[in-house]
Amino acid sequence: MAITWRAPTSAFLLLCLVLATCEARPRGAPGTVVGQATRTVADIARHDARNTKRDPNEKIFNVIDFGATPNGKKISTMAFQKAFSAACQWKGKARVLVPGGVFLVGALILQGPCQGPPPLIVQVSGTVKAVTDISEYADGVWILFDGVNGLVLTGGGTLDGQGAESWQYADCKTNPDCQPLPVSSLVKISDVHFINIRGTTSSNIGVNLLCSHQNPCQNVQLANIDLHYTGPQRGLPLSSSCENARINYAGVQNPPPCR
């Protein structure tokens, strides 16, 4: 897993793609202000570690209620799409819940703007696995948030890009007609918060925020990020790269923050 932004348009690619595996684990730690300056990163992390429904006014959108099957075999892409769309259209506080179990999903395009007050929380408590058939990813993207501001990704689960199963298709050096594997790529984004993200990255640049001068990434929150390089060139130090991005840090930061 790598956290990556690249900014020619107004969309946001979620961190874990086919070449990576990551985990989002609750871990309370000193934090910075999130969203509307009423909750800290630490508040959300501590609360999410205790229970699912934090706020009596918050509506939970459980992907199972929209038809997702937690057996790791049946593809649940449409159910995830419907759950997110319903949460995004809700005019109150909303949380998308991926409960315990293993969910198999293909390419997701999750679009805003959303109707409710930020942040929209996406809680991954189970395991989300990417479909390994690369023909499912016409745009080279696994999960794309488009036009969603005030997003919080948290939980105690795993986003598994199934990289080992996909590397067999990485034949672009010898096959001119190959289909490139999905890669980490992102764009203009504001008010996005990554909390308690642990896992591995196939790139030695674990956090790569490439935003345009005209549309800089603003109010990006990184709290308790712990990534480890598992690429082919063992021993490379893990680093961060940032352009035109305003970032607030809290807690553990591996790789080290951009300076």
Domain check: are 151 and 93 in the same one?
yes
Number of domains in the chain: 2
pLDDT surpasses 50 at 82? yes
Higher pLDDT, 100 or 187: 100
Confidence (pLDDT) at 161? 66
Higher pLDDT, 43 or 142: 142
**Segment 157-166, tens digit of pLDDT:** 777 766 544 4
Over the chain, what is the mean pLDDT?
Answer: 70
Confidence (pLDDT) at 175? 63
Strand partners, 198: 23, 226
Q: Which amino acid is at 197?
A: I
Residue 38 and residue 93: Cα distance in Å, rounded?
Answer: 14
**Segment 123-137, tens digit of pLDDT:** 988 988 888 776 666
| Residue 199 included in any domain | yes
Confidence (pLDDT) at 85? 96
Domain check: are 149 and 247 in the same one?
no
Q: How confident is the model at residue 143 (pLDDT cuts 50, 70, 90)?
A: confident
pLDDT surpasses 50 at 41? no
Residues 231-258, mean pLDDT to the nearest whole number = 86
- Out of 164, 197, 221, a domain closes at 164
| Residue 190 included in any domain | yes
| Residue 219 included in any domain | yes
pLDDT surpasses 90 at 67? yes
| Residue 17 included in any domain | no
Domain check: are 74 and 148 in the same one?
yes
Domain check: are 78 and 112 in the same one?
yes
| Residue 98 included in any domain | yes
Q: Cα–Cα distances in Å, from 211 out to 16, 88, 142, 214, 217?
A: 19, 25, 20, 9, 6
| Residue 69 included in any domain | yes
Q: In which region does residue 219 sit, left (phi positive, over 0), alpha (psi from -120 to 50) or beta (all else)?
A: left
Domain check: are 145 and 193 in the same one?
no
pLDDT surpasses 60 at 99? yes
List the beta strands (DSSP E) in the chain: 3-6, 12-13, 21-24, 33-34, 39-40, 58-62, 71-75, 93-98, 102-105, 108-111, 120-124, 127-130, 143-146, 151-154, 158-160, 190-201, 205-210, 217-229, 239-243, 245-254
Residue 197 and residue 88: Cα distance in Å, rounded?
Answer: 23
Contact (CB, 8 A) for 249 and 257: yes
Contact (CB, 8 A) for 202 and 236: no
Domain check: are 127 and 207 in the same one?
no
Domain with 224, as residue range(s), is 184-258
The percentage of residues in the chain with a pLDDT greater than 90, rounded to a whole number, is 22
Domain check: are 153 and 188 in the same one?
no
Q: What is the CATH number of the domain that holds 85?
A: 2.160.20.10
Q: Which amino acid is at 59?
A: K
Confidence (pLDDT) at 191? 65
Confidence (pLDDT) at 258? 84
Contact (CB, 8 A) for 128 and 96: no
Most confidently modeled range among 41-55, 107-121, 200-214, 217-231: 107-121
Its pTM stands at 0.61
